[in-house]
């Protein structure tokens, strides 16, 4: 069986270090491992419209921004197919057929959907399209016969729902669709990176992000303003590292080499943590170190992004070519689906 990756992001804003830790970094690694036959990376504009129906221009503008972020992080258009979801209408048709295989109460039980409805204050006014987005995500994944989906932890319920749709489809209409596996980042700190405000998830919609394209001064300002342990008031107080965003970011991005480079008082993160927990180490010092770590991680990304910004027509060509390739693949799956459902009349 072919090994295929499908993953993507909603063009609701520029990408941030949460995306990078939770998904992008892993994708680049998988892309360069050479283990996959095909890699599809989707800019999910149709999904973004499910809760941005009145802001189509915002979604439109961010398609290019997300594409630039991809290229900046090392997604290579010669190895990965980058495409725009709405350019593949086959995905919408698949969604429509899959809707018959899922109950309303099943979608209502999806914990990510629940949390997002609450976050967006939708409660009594949930757009039907938004409610159905887990089903459209199942269409995206299965259209490419993805075997692997590298995403952040918040996507686990979506993958579960997708697998159920695959089983249901195959049992009703005969073996047709491929079951995908989720690939979560191996580093636990990357599963769900908190925001700089300490909220559970860094998210475009919450405005608590460090963006990949951020300028050095802004990175510094954000890192220095980060939420830490609220009970660590004086330098001599013992501090908590669990649940402390500064240490979660260090867990996600710091390597032992960073100590030799920026802070040779310590040789590894465990030593630094032990000192913080004992007391006698101030937040400002730790934040300065984190700033150095983040600056080093983000510099090459920002520089590569600036180079691509000078070649925007090439970026658009990459999306256009990618969408053409993706459409062919999705059309083949749709043909199989229609055949299995016996709705290929003439």
Binding site for ligand ATP (CB under 6 A): 9-10, 12, 18-19, 21-23, 151-152, 154-155, 192-193, 201-205
Closer residue to ligand ATP in complex, CB, 49/334: 49
Q: Give the separation between CA 104 and CA 94, rounded to whole angstroms.
A: 18
Q: Give me the residue whose beta carbon is nearest to ligand ATP.
A: 22
- From the list 27, 38, 33, 44, the residue with the least C-alpha distance to 145 is 38
Provide, rounded to whole angstroms, the least separation between the CB of residue 45 and ligand ATP: 11
Of 94 and 182, which has the nearer Cβ to ligand ATP? 182
Given the complex with ligand ATP, which of 47 and 340 has the nearer CB atom? 47
Least separation, in Å, of the C-beta of 49 and ligand ATP?
A: 11
φ, ψ dihedrals at 137, nearest 5°:
-65, -35
Cα pseudo-dihedral 12, 17, 22, 25, rounded to 10: 110
Contact 12, 66 (CB under 8 A): no
- C-beta of 101 vs 139, nearer to ligand ATP: 139
Which of 160-167's residues contact partners 24+ apart within 8 Å by CB, and which partners? Answer: 161/102, 161/106, 161/107, 161/110, 161/134, 161/135, 161/137, 162/134, 162/137, 162/138, 164/102, 164/106, 165/98, 165/101, 165/102, 165/135, 165/138, 166/138, 166/142
Of the pair 42, 177, the CB lying nearest ligand ATP is at: 42
Q: Minimum CB separation from ligand ATP for residue 191, in Å? A: 6
CB of 232 to ligand ATP, least distance (A): 23
- If DSSP codes are grouped into helix, strand and coil, which group holds residue 307? helix
Distance, in Å, from the CA atom of 39 to the CA atom of 282, rounded to the nearest integer, reads 45
The nearest distance, CB 115 to ligand ATP, in angstroms, is 11
CB of 73 to ligand ATP, least distance (A): 12
Phi, psi of 328 (to 5 degrees): -60, -45
Say which DSSP state 211 is in: B
Nearer to ligand ATP, 205 or 292 (CB): 205
| Alpha carbon distance 192, 316 (integer Å) | 31
The answer to whether 292 touches 254, Cβ cutoff 8 Å, is no
Between 87 and 115, name the residue whose CB sits nearer to ligand ATP: 115
CA distance 243 to 129: 35
Q: How far is the CB of 230 from ligand ATP (least distance, A)?
A: 21
Residue 49 or 315 having the CB closest to ligand ATP = 49
- C-alpha distances in Å from residue 333, one per residue of 19, 93, 111, 159, 173: 29, 11, 29, 19, 14
Residue pair 86/129 in contact (Cβ under 8 Å)? The answer is: no
**Shortest CB 11 distance to ligand ATP, Å:** 8
């Amino acid at each position: 069986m072919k090994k295929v990756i499908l993953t993507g992001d909603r063009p609701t804003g520029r990408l941030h270090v949460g995306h990078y830790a939770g998904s992008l970094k892993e994708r680049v690694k998988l892309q360069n491992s050479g283990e996959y036959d095909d890699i599809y990376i989707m800019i999910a504009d149709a999904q973004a419209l499910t809760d941005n129906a009145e802001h189509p221009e915002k979604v439109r503008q961010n398609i290019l921004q997300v594409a630039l972020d991809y290229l900046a992080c090392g997604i290579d258009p010669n190895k990965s197919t980058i495409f725009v979801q709405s350019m593949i209408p086959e995905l919408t048709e698949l969604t429509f057929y899959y809707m018959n295989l899922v109950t309303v109460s099943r979608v209502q039980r999806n914990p990510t959907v629940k949390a997002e409805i609450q976050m967006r204050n939708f409660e009594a006014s949930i757009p039907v399209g938004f409610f159905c987005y887990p089903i459209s995500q199942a269409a995206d994944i299965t259209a490419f016969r993805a075997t692997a989906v590298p995403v952040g932890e918040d996507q686990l319920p979506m993958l579960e729902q997708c697998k159920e749709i695959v089983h249901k489809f195959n049992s009703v209409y005969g073996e047709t669709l491929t079951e995908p596996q989720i690939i979560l980042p191996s580093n636990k700190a990357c599963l769900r990176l908190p925001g700089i405000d300490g909220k559970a998830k860094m998210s475009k919609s919450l405005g608590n992000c460090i963006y990949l394209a951020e300028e050095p001064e802004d990175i510094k300002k954000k890192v220095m303003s980060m939420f830490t342990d609220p009970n660590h008031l004086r330098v001599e107080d013992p501090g908590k590292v669990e649940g402390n965003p500064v240490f979660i970011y260090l867990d996600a991005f710091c390597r032992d080499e960073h100590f030799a480079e920026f802070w040779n008082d310590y040789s590894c993160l465990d030593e630094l943590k032990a000192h913080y927990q004992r007391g006698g180490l101030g937040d400002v010092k730790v934040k300065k170190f984190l700033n150095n770590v983040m600056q080093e991680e983000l510099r090459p990304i920002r520089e590569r992004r600036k180079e691509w910004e000078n070649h925007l027509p090439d970026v658009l060509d990459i999306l256009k070519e990618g969408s053409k390739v993706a459409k062919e693949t999705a059309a083949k799956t749709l043909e199989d689906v229609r055949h299995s459902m016996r709705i290929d009349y003439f």
